Structure 1
Amino acid sequence: MRSCPACGTANGESDDFCGNCGSYLGWSSEPVRPGRAREPEPVPEPEPEPESTPKPESVLEPARDPGGIPAGMSEPESVPEPAPEPTANPAANPPVNPAAEAEAPAPGAAPDPGPPARPEVPARPGQPPEADPADEPIGAVRPGKPVARRPVVRPVAADEAPDGPPCPACGTPNLPGRKFCRRCAAPLRVREQPAALPWWRTMWPFRRRVRGGSGRALRRTLLVLAVAGLVLAGFLFFPLGRYVFEDVRDKLGGTAEISPTGVTASAAAPGHPASAAIDGLTNKYWGAPALGASLTCSFGTPFRLVGIVVHTGVSKEPQEFRRGARPTRADLLVTTEDGKVHRKTVTFTDKPGKQTVRMGISDVRSVELVLREAAGQGEGRPVAVGEVEFFRRT
């Protein structure tokens, strides 16, 4: 068997790749026998440095002291030294070597002590003499080589029998439990390709695949609640939403003038009938004899009223404008096709020219103008309304 260097799984002798992780088995060690785990290799010890080999105890000589007496033996009794012989006359025998004579110390001078002598330590009997450390050479020391512990593989009972399905890449047979091919390391368990989606599932947001238990029920519940909330909001705020929608259309769309099909007045001054307010001329006007008089304009078909333009006073000329009475405040009563009346109070500026009133009412059938306040009133001065124009959305 061959063990995987990565995961330690045992593989066959002829396998090149691990069946569990797909690692290459060429770096594995020698095969492992069935039923027995590999033992870690011993760590080599560093080689010792050569040292001086001492002699055997049988060959060793007893150490001697400076006097020549072996260690462990008592000194002999002192022997009387012989008397010195008489010295010859130095003048009769001159020195043979003058240089040696010159180097000799002068009489009476202290002798040169020389280098200090090392104290002698007597050696014990039966022990080799100690070597001087200063005389031994110092050599290099080789460091220890670290060796990593090799993994212990799991033993197997029998060799693999590659009788399983062949590899889809190289055709080599493998065992059914292997994940990778033992010859080329190709994956043996190929994922099944998902079925093609229908064309409508390829469009966003339908192209998203939903797995089981991924929150489909929650999303459906939230979608139902959102739809119900929109329906409820539309039911409660429908008038407001419709008003906003129509107002945006009024601002983005165009306008056109529409003429009323009929006009009536609750009261009128002599020579100033109600029809003078819709004839398109500002030099003629409807004259109200008193405040509270009204002018009603009706239309044949309902329409979207987006604005009203009112010309006050007897003329657009400033001097003529100041001579007559003119309205400063009035009420607009707009009646729609369903009979509902919309009331709006408007204020006019006291100057000649047109006064624009912005509206926004659908299905209008009639508009009534009621005068509430006026300026420049006096006896024989009716309140003058020069012209009233209506505009619809196109």
Structure 2
Amino acid sequence: MVECTACGQRCERGEQFCGSCGAYLDWSEETAPAAPSAAAPASAPTAPPAPTTPPTPASAPVAAATEQPAPEEPVAAPVQPLAAGPVPPPRPTVVRPPDEPPPAPGDLVCGQCGVGNVPTRRFCRRCGASLADAPAAPRPSWWRRLTTRSPRQAPAAGERPAPSRWRRMRRPRLLVPVVIVALGLAAFGLRGQIGGATDKVRDRVAKGSQIHPVGVKASSSAPGHAAGLAVDGTTDRYWAPAAGGAAAGQYLEATFEQPFRLLDVVIHPGASPVDEQFLKQARPHDVVVTTTDSHGTSTAHTLHLADSPGPQTFHLAVSDVTRIRVTLQTAYATSGSRHVAVAELEFFKR
């Protein structure tokens, strides 16, 4: 620490200018010129001694004239030095040395030489410029802090340098590839879930198109109500199993030419959309829709139908479908003389 002779502020050794008053700290060998003293006339050269012989009366006026001191020129009043001390020499233009570390986050950056100063300083420690309008050094982003190695201080004499945290981590630049590989593995493991979420979004926004089966069969059919009437495009004719009552276990099965993404199944229950004809036969209540993919894997969906005429739509969203079976479970208004009627089946793909 060195004490500023101008304001008494204690400054770090190596700083060229005081942080409080901006005084130049490297002028200890400079001396201010001595001010003129008030006793200056005493140091003036003395007049030569008067002659020992008495002057003659005629020369008395001349001697009197020679002994008269010449009028002195006016002397300016002495200038008192400033209370702060001697005036420092002009501030030199300081350029930041190459080994000067960059400003730390929050330091005041000098606009003249570019060095960093602690926020408590009012003048630059290198060039003495005012820091009133100096901007603060910004904090680097987390990514730059992660990939940039911070400068290390040299160990003191006799001390062993401590290993850096980057060396313990086996090189920081290896951290980025490791993170990328980890993210890739996580994405690979979650690709099924991501793909499923994408399909759900596409299913909701897509407008399905109807697909017709290439073949249809039934477990049994009542006379005049064959399986093909359930996919003939009209709702005034219907399929009904041969057995009356609930006909649990009876089914219709549709086969398709190519695998497709099934979105919706539309069921028209009853014998007709007209109420009078609708109420003449039994209507399906609970049905199981079983989808089979190209690998032979089957998925069952239980559907509950309302006892009302007209189409009823069910969203299934199943991929790679090649075959669909609709199996009856329970029915409305069953009796021995009534058959469970299905007027139409419709299938929509994405």
TM-score in terms of structure 1 length? 0.49
Q: Distance in 1 between matches of 2:23 and 2:195?
A: 74
Give the direction of change, closer, same or farther, for the CA distance of 1:205–1:339 in structure 2 (3 Å limit).
farther
Q: Distance in 2 between matches of 1:259 and 1:19?
A: 89
Give the direction of change, closer, same or farther, for the CA distance of 1:205–1:389 in structure 2 (3 Å limit).
farther
Name which of 331, 335, 343 aligns with 1:386: 343
Name which of 237, 240, 249 aligns with 2:202: 249
TM superposition shift of 1:254: 1.8
RMSD: 4.1
Letter in 2 for 1:5: A
Give the direction of change, closer, same or farther, for the CA distance of 1:343–1:30 in structure 2 (3 Å limit).
closer
Q: Distance in 1 between matches of 2:178 and 2:217?
A: 55
Partner residue in 2 for 1:36: none
Correspondence 1:189 to 2:96? yes
Q: Distance in 1 between matches of 2:83 and 2:99?
A: 42
Letter in 1 for 2:276: Q
Give the direction of change, closer, same or farther, for the CA distance of 1:264–1:205 in structure 2 (3 Å limit).
farther
Partner residue in 2 for 1:375: 332
Q: Distance in 1 between matches of 2:331 and 2:95?
A: 99
Name which of 308, 311, 315 aligns with 1:358: 315
Secondary structure of the structure 1 residue equivalent to 2:273: coil
Partner residue in 1 for 2:148: 211
Give the direction of change, closer, same or farther, for the CA distance of 1:342–1:182 in structure 2 (3 Å limit).
farther
Give the direction of change, closer, same or farther, for the CA distance of 1:30–1:232 in structure 2 (3 Å limit).
closer
Q: Distance in 2 between matches of 1:21 and 1:8?
A: 11
Give the direction of change, closer, same or farther, for the CA distance of 1:5–1:205 in structure 2 (3 Å limit).
closer
Alpha carbons 1:334, 1:366 under 8 Å: kept: yes
Name which of 148, 170, 178 aligns with 1:224: 178
Correspondence 1:275 to 2:228? yes
Letter in 1 for 2:217: T
Letter in 1 for 2:256: F
Give the direction of change, closer, same or farther, for the CA distance of 1:31–1:391 in structure 2 (3 Å limit).
closer
Partner residue in 2 for 1:199: none
Letter in 1 for 2:148: R
Q: Distance in 2 between matches of 1:391 and 1:350?
A: 23
Deviations 1:203-228 (A, max 9, x none): x9988895324877568547735742
Secondary structure of the structure 2 residue equivalent to 1:254: coil
Letter in 2 for 1:353: G
Deviations 1:16-38 (A, max 9, x none): xx99228456xx999559xxxxx
Partner residue in 1 for 2:218: 265
Secondary structure of the structure 2 residue equivalent to 1:242: helix
TM superposition shift of 1:189: 3.2
Give the direction of change, closer, same or farther, for the CA distance of 1:182–1:212 in structure 2 (3 Å limit).
farther
Unaligned runs of 5+ in 1: 10-17, 34-147, 154-180, 195-203
TM-score in terms of structure 2 length? 0.55
Secondary structure of the structure 2 residue equivalent to 1:315: coil
Give the direction of change, closer, same or farther, for the CA distance of 1:241–1:24 in structure 2 (3 Å limit).
closer
Deviates more, 1:219-228 or 1:298-307: 219-228
Q: Distance in 1 between matches of 2:223 and 2:234?
A: 18
Secondary structure of the structure 2 residue equivalent to 1:372: strand
Q: Distance in 2 between matches of 1:276 and 1:350?
A: 21
Partner residue in 1 for 2:37: none
Partner residue in 1 for 2:292: 335
Letter in 2 for 1:378: S
Secondary structure of the structure 1 residue equivalent to 2:240: strand
Correspondence 1:322 to 2:259? no
Alpha carbons 1:275, 1:286 under 8 Å: kept: yes
Q: Distance in 2 between matches of 1:360 and 1:31?
A: 92
Secondary structure of the structure 1 residue equivalent to 2:203: helix
Secondary structure of the structure 2 residue equivalent to 1:323: coil
The 5 A counterparts of 1:1-394 are: 5=6, 20-21=16-17, 23=22, 32=31, 183-191=90-98, 210-213=147-150, 221=175, 224=178, 227-228=181-182, 231-232=185-186, 234-235=188-189, 237-290=190-243, 291=247, 292-393=249-350
Alpha carbons 2:223, 2:242 under 8 Å: kept: no
Higher alpha-carbon Rg = 1
